[in-house]
Amino acid sequence: MNAINKVVILGGGTAGWMAAAALAKVLGHLTVELVESEQIGTVGVGEATIPTLLFFNRLLGIDEVDLLRETQATFKLGIAFENWRRPGSDYFHGFGSTGKDFWAAGFHNFWRRGIEEGMACSFGDYCLEVQAARAGRFSHEGGINYAYHIDASRYGQYLCKLAQRNGVKRTEGRVTRVEQQPQTGDIVALELADGSRVQGDLFIDCSGFRGLLIEQTLACGYEDWSHWLPCDRAVAIASDVLPDAPPYTRAIAHDSGWRWQIPLRERTGNGLVYASHHLSDDEAAARLLSELDGEAHGEPRYIRFTTGRRRQQWYKNCVAIGLSAGFIEPLESTSIHLIQQNILKLIKLFPSDVILSQDRDEFNRHADFDYEQILDFIVLHYHLTERDDSAFWRHCASMEVPASLHERIALFAESGRFFVRNNELFVDSWFQVMIGQGLVPKRYHRVVAQMPVPELEQFLSSIRRTINAKVEAMPAHSFYLERLLA
Ligand code: FAD
């Protein structure tokens, strides 16, 4: 076994450059070389993020204003889900928590009784981020939780410069052959089209959907999740910038999937995600183009995908990060987060000298958990619907879902109870989505039942008053951005 001194990253998409920048920053003594092919290019989508990216950027020492300027970014407070429960309905998934929890009973219990007593408003009215998003306002003040809408290719370029400043070597070229150790199967080197050879000790596969190392070379296998997530294609196009860019993503359900609208500073990102079984590529593109707010820029781009994950994301001396590791769905913008998770896990478990199988197993266990908990959360959006206006939605509503999700929905429906598993990414989000999609628990906690009605009323209205006052004090999102970047 070789001591790990040199890391080779294959792929210069978001995953590759995030990995390169982080390794160079944290493990500066390593030699890191990244191979990418401009001829092959990157997937070229992925503009919405979640708040965990702020932690990653901080780790890299990135200045927020500089990043916003360089990546055309806007702030994102959550996602507006339109037509998901039924056509014409909408709700918000905001990044913050809703209301105030009591240790024995989450806020939704108080809200649930408030509904019964005829005194509560919509669930989202008790969430600062949702209310600020609805009002189109933003400010760093007041402890708001936020993420970014970002031009992903510019983010990649930004990290590329940062990584190279920290010593990462960039090699342009197309990998045509992968050399393996005959006895162990470990990867030894990548051979490029010009005949040159890039040798390494540990290889990070960031080659995108093709998984050139983890799959095409090491044949790790892929767990296909399309029976739970039937969308398998997307068509994407940019359009004119939106006036007063809203601080949220729009996810608008249609009869065979959904459409995204992501406001950046100089353009708007749009895409239609669909199940090819129910909608043809031409119909999808025609629908996307007809629903754009503003003029389209360029031609629509088609992307095919199979939702699922690689059976092992660290196998032999190869770690898969990004689309080569798996792809769930862009619905909750979790891919860049999963990239970051694999990078952080790899750094935590980075071999002191040689690769230990225990480290690899631990990495894979955590990676499985990271993917599975997000899977459940995404499937929830599709499954918990009252839509029966198309074969697609009838399938989603009636399909069998993962057992863990089934149990969660059943428990919440009966009792309003929800138990957090390990270190879950989404917690409050579950309440927002379940309630938003129409699942109101039958019962609430006894602690809440004991509360005198005037006290409950005072409790609920004081939360709303505080939130409304904070939102009132915030400037408009686009005005705030302009001032910040001036
Ligand atoms: P890629 O961008 O495909 O990069 C692959 C790299 O490998 C390229 O540099 C390529 O040149 C290189 N390469 C491949 N083969 C070779 C070879 N033989 N030789 C040399 N180089 C090679 N994520 C989010 O977080 N938010 C979103 O809103 C979001 N929306 C999405 C919407 C859709 C429809 C899809 C499909 C994905 C979305 N994602 C989103 C996911 C996001 O796009 C990816 O996670 C992210 O772009 C990372 O991609 P990657 O770096 O793994 O792969």
- What lies within 8 Å, CB to CB, of 449 at 6+ separation is 113
310 DSSP β-pair partners:
222
Nearest to 80 by CA among 259, 223, 211, 231: 259
Nearest to 185 by CA among 38, 27, 312, 353: 312
Handedness of CA 248, 254, 258, 260 (dihedral sign): negative
Give the nearest ligand 1 atom to 333 CA. 26
pTM to 2 decimals? Answer: 0.96
* pLDDT score at 11: 98
pLDDT per residue over 156-207, tens digit each? Answer: 999 999 999 999 999 999 999 999 999 999 999 999 999 999 999 999 999 9
- C-alpha 283/C-alpha 431 separation (Å) is 34
Average pLDDT, the chain: 96
- C-alpha 163/C-alpha 25 separation (Å) is 8
pLDDT per residue over 314-327, tens digit each? Answer: 999 999 999 999 99
pLDDT per residue over 101-145, tens digit each? Answer: 888 899 999 999 999 999 988 999 999 999 999 999 999 988 899
Handedness of CA 6, 10, 12, 13 (dihedral sign): negative
* CA distances from residue 16 to 3, 6, 324, 472 in whole angstroms, order as listed: 22, 15, 11, 41
SS3 of residue 252 by DSSP:
strand
* pLDDT score at 101: 84
> What is the maximal distance between C-alpha atoms in the chain?
78
- Name every protein residue with a CB atom under 6 angstroms from any ligand 1 atom: 10-16, 35-37, 40-43, 45-49, 152, 174-175, 206-208, 210, 212, 234, 271, 303, 305, 322-324, 330, 333, 335-336, 339
Look-up: residue for tokens 């694999």? Answer: 342
- C-alpha 147/C-alpha 471 separation (Å) is 18
Q: Whose CA is nearest to atom 45 of ligand 1?
A: 335
